[in-house]
């Protein structure tokens, strides 16, 4: 077990004392004059806030050993020297570690070192040492995924304290906001923000429903910052109608006409803004909302901050239930809709108490500082909002987010499905999230217009060519990066084949020259949240970040948090820090050899494979991707054996870490006037590897406050040994050799040179492992599947792959 | 979608009015004189308790259609005839069904019929009709797994009401307790119950820690009943040390000496009770506990009842953290420990505020009525407690429970693992649950004694013979059924190969002659809870049952609830009712002749198979049970092909329902002086079948009260079509032809007759399907796996299987 903390702040002893006093672990700094035993006793007596009596606390202390023969209750009855072992035996039990299972009473710090838990060096603790060690303990993670002070909080520490004393709210400890707000008293309100758009063309500006949760203290004058989650899903989804729209992918790859537009032409071809209806004229002004809600579609990270003095706002945007407008899947109208909420929170836009009466309501409780959070589409809208440069948006936390929708649904002139969602496209997602449809009273009057709009989107997205067109150019946030004023924290899974890593990579690289703070976390998961993992203090990291960005706490978040934090793919619970991603100046280059090995310099030689499968094999693979994947990557005798070329390097003679975007150069010919190539970069070598889905460690272990909502504690575990692991992949239409928006002709059997950037990665290759490259055509999970009888040839003398090495 | 409700109570109109008045949906029965429109308006205005204003409610009403052109807000502005369609269009939207997706506005009752939702027949509603229909609506399930009134409750219906009026507490509606208790105010206490045992032989009676949650109203004099969950897991488990104890199962089947004890001799051989230390002499008396806890290891069904006026008690029993004693895995000491808590709750036993001071504390808030709930080991202890006949235990709800530990770890003279836990045994489970070990201060002084006790258990459980011995006889609750005074509700999965269905079958059959009420629910799941399913109102059933048994509500629970409720295995969301299980008087009998033999029959009518696998095949199967299962049951060419005999019936010419315990007769010879047989009964036929693990429908959809703990809504879904499905299985040691406690010799190659009862079931076989019987020896998942070169012969002329048919 390893517990990695990056958000622990080191402060000087005076500050430690001040902070201990602030949370009432000590009442006066004069305590340094007392004996260590007295002080320890006083501190320990505050560790069981759940106990109604002193006897109850004493009993709990009697269950903790300071050494094999002495319990803590007995120990503090008399003056004692407190050794390092005494203290850390006790501390480890307080942190929920078990004697003999997790550590030995003989040498607790040995186990702590292994687990990366911090401890002080003094072998005999003075009172000052003890107070310092106690401060450190309060900021150290327990066995169950929370800082010790948070654990005490879940047992009622602050709830009890606030019965006895007026706690400052918000309250900060070690640079982070503490859970001192009573979540049973949260105020829930609905407002309707008027946006500068009329996407349903009903002659009225779109009103956007926002669900607000704010601490009751705001009613008494407290101004709070906002965590805003723009989730198109959160008013419900039309799963069945979305599924009906899903496109048939068992269609042949079509020949495309040759076109050579410029990027400027694409940009100019975007639809003009239509004239806007006038703003609503306010009627009255309300201070409190007229509408509320019972249960929002919540997000545990937001719940955590609700207990810590942040308001949370959920808004689903245009086309969602009880808002106006139509869904547009990532276009500028959607950005406008996302940004409107922030403008209202900053006092720069009007909102109303309902959709009819034009009674104004202001976000008078907001301190004007907002962050957007969320994963996938939600994180995408965070990026969208940031590119607007809107005032009041201080930071975004974009998790597994799309930075350009072309990189979500397309690649190099091909329709490429998000992993797990073959046949999905922009129109499918629009229908999925068009939750106005769920309320027939609202839907019936606009049904015809909506279906027409959906049809138009179906045409504009242009599945026929797969090219980068004005439709996709309008949905490319990377064009607007220069506008960004918000600091950005990005989180992405290196095994996320849904929103592929290219999305975060391009954002990260694109931000390098901008004067904003940026942090990057890359984990080994798929398309998941990481705020409930044991091995990394992600939630603390976000707390440090938001306490700094939204509440102005001078906690050095920019300096303390690593710029790039990457979970290791070979060792469990291991996180490495780097200063950058993609600034590589060293490469490992392999050339393709005729013996289907990489790296031997090749004589001129061509090899070939055909893309056609028997009907039986084709249809079996269609319904069983796992077998297809296995046959593609590891089977030596399967229907896929002749439908791919598999190149393997010699075993590596030393470990190395890839970092960045692999570049493949191929000289290729197709037997027809169309063609596509898919490529996988694979790590070959028998090894136990991390599961890409996290495993449950403990159900309900993470209370987000005190008797508030709970999350499960999880972690990636090592699985049974496997032979191979996908590192990266890429796809290209041979009619798009230059780029995704211009097309070229393909003469059958003529060779062409292409360069293909694969999905960027950070990947540790172990000694003895082999690097593999698989070249194939149809990707059952991602490309169209015409099962065409196309034969592809590679001219090996002109094929190579360049793998960037991660620099420290 | 189908929603099956069995706990809805039909009452007369006067009662409906009284109850509507009780929950303040109407304030006077004079309401019948008002117009239907007026009454509808009044009722509807109570459906949005989350809305702070009248305008907010009006807005919500405007979102509901009564027909394609009229919303409800407009509709109730003027006097209207209210048609059946008007009302049920509205009702369906209130129940969270969607227009056009779930039902059509033209004919809402058509969809309701299909979904099994109740509606009234009147085509135009009078005020009386309307009130009757409203009562019915309040008791009808929404799309999301709760009765409409419960859904309103989760939105704050009773919370708002109790601000305006004094609600009776507890409060019953339609025979069931309602969530009117404030769960933020629960009182949490710890007491230590003194039990009549000293299982750790420390010279002091064992004190047992109990965690209590009770409504705050008990402090003002309310007496409440108790749901008690005896969970040996709930103070933590020793997973790593348990795993270390797991037994090696790759050992040969050993020849056993011939023994012929009688059952009476086994009974007499049980260990004598040792002399007990004296009771503690009470010191003082306390009214309130000295200790409390922050977060119990909870169970959502209990949480549901905490909001409804029940107290909940969790106690983990002897040998668990902060209790005294040793774990004994199901012996009478454990029953004593389980029962002690109930005796304290009934006022018949002393408990103390802590483990040292002997200050008495009574359960003065208990009404003396207790039920035990829980699944698996927890449900097992419920059965154990019931067999004591203890006063105060009015009912038990035993889910997936063991009725005899021999039927959990053994079968017919064989060590048989619970599915998924090869190598587990009584000693492993004792170590797993011995959570005193987690507290070194408590564990160190008793460590040596505990390890000795564990070793003794390892010997006594006798893995060498697998026989039914005094050890197992002491752990057979079926011997004590005659003592039972509690009414019993049993729930079991027909696909539970962990606690196998034989356990519930024997309990059900054994209770038939006793004067207690018994109800049985058999579902298609594995070893799971079913209190969060959409297709069956399990939680309501338990509410009706417990309101009757523990709160004395005259709700006809005994009569209304079906005696036997079985989930259909062929159609999703379908539940059938029967009057009994296992009272079959019709059978389907198959003889094993050449015509039914899938593999070639020998001329002599004797067929054989060998049990030995190549080392490669054996080791591959050991690490991949799924492939082994597939090869055993469906592969035609695999390493298992010659290691089994697979018999198939002709396709069935009509559908039939098996119900009861299949009996197999075999004449068999082993090539050695030892031998074992395993048998699987299989349904062959291509079909989509239900998943045995439930699928998530909606996360956090089930609030157990108002802003209280939440559960996910789940359901079994149809999976991809499969070729075969396991119906039942069984295992026998050929040295135990007569029974599990007497052994016989086996002469190599001599034929013996045996009768083997398979696991009982209820199973619908579809027309065209084939009944299959597979005879094999080593069961990779359950038996020892010596990979011995034993050849088995069957004399087909003397082999048959008798399948009981389920009677209505």
Of the residues B323, B337, B376, B404, which is catalytic? Answer: B376
Cα A210 to Cα A231, A378, B496, B497, B699: the distances in Å are: 11, 15, 46, 49, 22
Q: Which of A514, A617, A517 is nearest to A564 (CA)?
A: A517
Task: Judge: A291–B53 Cβ closer than 8 Å, yes or no.
Answer: yes
Q: Determine the pLDDT at residue B600.
A: 44
Q: How far apart are CA B521 and CA B542, in angstroms?
A: 11
Q: Which of B356, B383, B344, B177 is nearest to B284 (CA)?
A: B356
Q: Which residues of chain A have pLDDT under 50?
A: none
Task: State residue B477 phi and psi, 5-degree precision.
Answer: -70, -20
Q: Which of A658, A647, A633 is nearest to A779 (CA)?
A: A633
Task: State residue B742 phi and psi, 5-degree precision.
Answer: -110, 145
Residues in A touching B50 (Cβ below 8 Å): 188, 292-294
Q: What is the DSSP string of A657-670?
A: EEEE--EEEEEEEE
Q: Determine the pLDDT at residue B221.
A: 97
Question: Element (H or E) spanning A209, and its range?
Answer: strand A207-214
Q: Determine the pLDDT at residue B601.
A: 45
Q: Determine the pLDDT at residue B599.
A: 44
Minimal C-alpha gap between A71 and chain B (Å): 7
A 421-440 residues with CB below 8 A of B? 438-440
Note if the bond before B170 is cis, omega within 30 degrees: yes
B444 Ramachandran zone, left/alpha/beta (phi>0; psi -120 to 50): alpha
Alpha carbon A412 to chain centroid distance? 25
End-to-end CA distance of chain B: 25
**A219 among known catalytic residues:** no
The CATH number of domain A587-804 is 2.60.120.260 = yes
Contacting residues for B541 by C-beta, under 8 A, at least 6 apart: B6, B7, B521, B561
Q: How far apart are CA A764 and CA A689, in angstroms?
A: 12
Task: State residue A324 phi and psi, 5-degree precision.
Answer: -90, 180
Question: Element (H or E) spanning B493, and its range?
Answer: strand B487-493
Of the residues A132, A141, A527, A591, which is catalytic? Answer: A527
Q: Are strands B710-715 and B695-703 parallel, antiparallel or unpaired?
A: antiparallel
Which of the 8 DSSP states describes residue A104? -
Q: Determine the pLDDT at residue B636.
A: 83
Q: How far apart are CA A682 and CA A635, in angstroms?
A: 14
Sequence length of chain A is 808
- Dihedral of CA atoms A108, A109, A110, A116 in degrees, nearest 10, equals 120
For the packed helices A108-115 and A84-94, what is the interaxial angle rounded to 10 degrees? 50
Alpha carbon B645 to chain centroid distance? 34
Question: Element (H or E) spanning A194, and its range?
Answer: strand A187-194
Q: How many CB atoms lie within 10 A of CB A556?
A: 14
Q: Determine the pLDDT at residue B595.
A: 54
**B496 among known catalytic residues:** yes
B 24-53 residues with CB below 8 A of A? 50-53
Q: Which residues of chain B have pLDDT under 70?
A: 594-604
**Can you give the residue ranges of every domain in chain B?**
13-174, 184-250+281-457+468-561, 587-804
Minimal C-alpha gap between A512 and chain B (Å): 39
Q: Determine the pLDDT at residue B598.
A: 46
Among B64, B188, B238, beta carbon nearest to A441: B64
- Does residue B28 sit in helix, strand or coil? coil
Question: Element (H or E) spanning A286, and its range?
Answer: strand A285-286
Residues in A touching B93 (Cβ below 8 Å): 440
Task: Judge: B289–A52 Cβ closer than 8 Å, yes or no.
Answer: yes
- Does residue A744 sit in helix, strand or coil? coil
Minimal C-alpha gap between B700 and chain A (Å): 9
Q: Which of A414, A799, A779 is nearest to A608 (CA)?
A: A799
3-state DSSP of A38-80: HHHHHHHCCCCCCCCCHHHHHHHHHCCEEECCEEHHHHCCCCC
- Does residue A595 sit in helix, strand or coil? coil
**A496 among known catalytic residues:** yes
Task: Judge: A438–B703 Cβ closer than 8 Å, yes or no.
Answer: no
3-state DSSP of B69-128: CEEHHHHCCCCCCCEHHHHHHHHHHHCCCCECCCECCCCHHHHHHHHCCCCCCCCECCHH
Residues in B touching A66 (Cβ below 8 Å): none
Q: How far apart are CA B63 and CA A291, in angstroms?
A: 14
- Yes or no: say if A543 and A306 are a contact pair by the CB < 8 Å rule: no
The CATH number of domain A184-250+281-457+468-561 is 3.40.50.1820 = yes
Q: Determine the pLDDT at residue B594.
A: 60
Question: Element (H or E) spanning B670, and its range?
Answer: strand B663-670
Task: State residue A22 phi and psi, 5-degree precision.
Answer: -60, -35
Q: Nearest residue of A to residue B238 by CA position?
A: A101
Q: How far apart are CA B284 and CA B290, in angstroms?
A: 13
Beta bridge partners of A315: A210, A230
């Amino acid at each position: 077990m390893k517990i990695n903390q990056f958000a622990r702040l080191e402060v000087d002893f005076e500050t430690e004392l001040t902070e201990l006093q602030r949370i009432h672990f000590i009442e006066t700094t004069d305590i340094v004059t007392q004996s260590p035993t007295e002080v320890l006793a006083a501190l320990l007596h505050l560790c069981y806030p759940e106990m109604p009596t002193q006897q109850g606390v004493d009993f709990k202390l009697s269950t903790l050993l300071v050494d094999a023969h002495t319990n803590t209750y007995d120990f503090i009855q008399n003056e004692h020297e407190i050794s390092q072992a005494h203290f850390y035996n006790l501390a480890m039990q307080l942190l929920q570690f078990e004697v003999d299972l997790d550590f030995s009473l003989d040498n607790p710090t040995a186990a702590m070192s292994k687990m990366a838990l911090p401890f002080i060096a003094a072998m005999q603790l003075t009172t000052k040492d003890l107070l310092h060690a106690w401060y450190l303990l309060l900021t150290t993670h327990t066995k169950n995924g929370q800082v010790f002070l948070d654990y005490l909080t879940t047992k009622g520490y602050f709830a009890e304290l606030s019965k006895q004393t007026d706690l400052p709210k918000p309250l900060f400890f070690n640079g982070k906001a503490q859970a001192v707000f009573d979540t049973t008293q949260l105020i829930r309100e609905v407002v309707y923000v008027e946006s500068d758009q009329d996407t349903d063309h009903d002659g009225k500006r779109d009103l956007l429903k926002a669900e607000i949760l704010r601490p009751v203290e705001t009613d008494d004058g407290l101004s709070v910052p906002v965590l805003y989650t723009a989730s198109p899903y959160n008013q419900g989804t039309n799963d069945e109608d979305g599924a009906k729209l899903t496109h048939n992918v068992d269609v042949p790859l079509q020949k495309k006409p040759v076109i050579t537009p410029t990027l400027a032409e694409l940009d100019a071809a975007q639809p003009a803004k239509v004239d806007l209806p006038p703003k609503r004229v306010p009627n009255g002004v309300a201070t409190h909302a007229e509408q509320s809600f019972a249960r929002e579609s919540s997000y545990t990270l937001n719940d955590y901050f609700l207990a810590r003095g942040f308001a949370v706002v959920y808004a689903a945007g245009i086309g969602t239930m009880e808002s106006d407008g139509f869904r547009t899947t990532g276009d500028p109208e959607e950005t406008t809709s996302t940004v409107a909420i922030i403008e209202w929170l900053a006092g720069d836009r009007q909102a109303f108490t309902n959709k009819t009466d034009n009674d104004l309501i202001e976000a008078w409780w907001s301190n004007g500082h907002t962050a957007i959070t969320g994963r996938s589409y939600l994180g995408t809208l965070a990026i969208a909002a940031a590119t607007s440069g809107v005032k009041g948006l201080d930071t975004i936390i974009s998790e597994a987010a799309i930075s350009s929708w072309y990189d979500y649904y397309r690649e190099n002139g091909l329709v490429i499905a998000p992993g797990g969602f073959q046949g999905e496209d922009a129109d499918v997602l629009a229908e999925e999230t068009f939750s106005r449809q769920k309320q027939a009273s609202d839907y019936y009057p606009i049904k015809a217009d909506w279906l027409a709009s959906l049809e138009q989107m179906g045409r504009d997205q242009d599945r026929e060519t797969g090219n980068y067109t004005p439709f996709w150019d309008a949905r490319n946030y990377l064009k607007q990066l220069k506008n960004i004023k918000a600091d950005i924290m990005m989180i992405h899974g290196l095994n996320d084949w849904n929103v592929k890593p290219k999305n975060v990579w391009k954002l990260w690289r694109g931000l390098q020259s901008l004067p904003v703070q940026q942090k990057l976390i890359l984990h080994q998961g798929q398309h998941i949240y990481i705020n409930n993992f044991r091995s990394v203090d992600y939630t603390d990291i976000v707390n440090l970040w938001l306490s700094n960005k939204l509440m102005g706490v001078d906690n050095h978040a920019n300096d303390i948090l690593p710029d790039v934090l990457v979970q290791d793919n070979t060792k469990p619970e291991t996180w490495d820090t780097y200063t950058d991603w993609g600034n590589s100046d060293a490469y490992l280059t392999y050339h393709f050899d005729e013996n289907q090995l990489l790296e031997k310099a090749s004589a001129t030689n061509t090899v070939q494979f055909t893309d056609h499968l028997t009907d039986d094999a084709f249809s079996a693979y269609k319904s069983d991707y796992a077998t297809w994947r296995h046959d593609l990557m590891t089977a030596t005798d399967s229907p896929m054996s002749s439908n791919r070329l598999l190149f393997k390097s010699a075993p590596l003679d030393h470990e190395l870490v890839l970092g960045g975007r692999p570049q493949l150069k191929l000289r290729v010919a197709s037997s027809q006037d169309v063609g596509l190539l898919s490529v996988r970069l694979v790590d070959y070598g028998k090894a136990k590897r991390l599961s890409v889905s996290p495993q449950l460690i403990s159900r309900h272990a993470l209370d987000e406050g005190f008797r508030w909502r709970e999350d499960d504690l999880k972690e990636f575990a090592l699985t049974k040994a496997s032979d191979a692991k996908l590192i990266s992949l890429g796809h290209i239409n041979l009619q798009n050799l230059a780029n995704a928006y211009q097309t070229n002709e393909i003469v059958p059997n003529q060779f062409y040179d292409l360069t293909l950037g694969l999905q960027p990665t950070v990947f540790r290759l172990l000694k003895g492992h082999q690097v593999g490259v698989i070249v194939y055509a149809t990707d059952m999970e991602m490309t169209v599947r015409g099962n065409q009888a196309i034969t592809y040839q590679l001219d090996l003398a002109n094929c190579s792959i360049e793998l960037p090495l991660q620099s420290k």
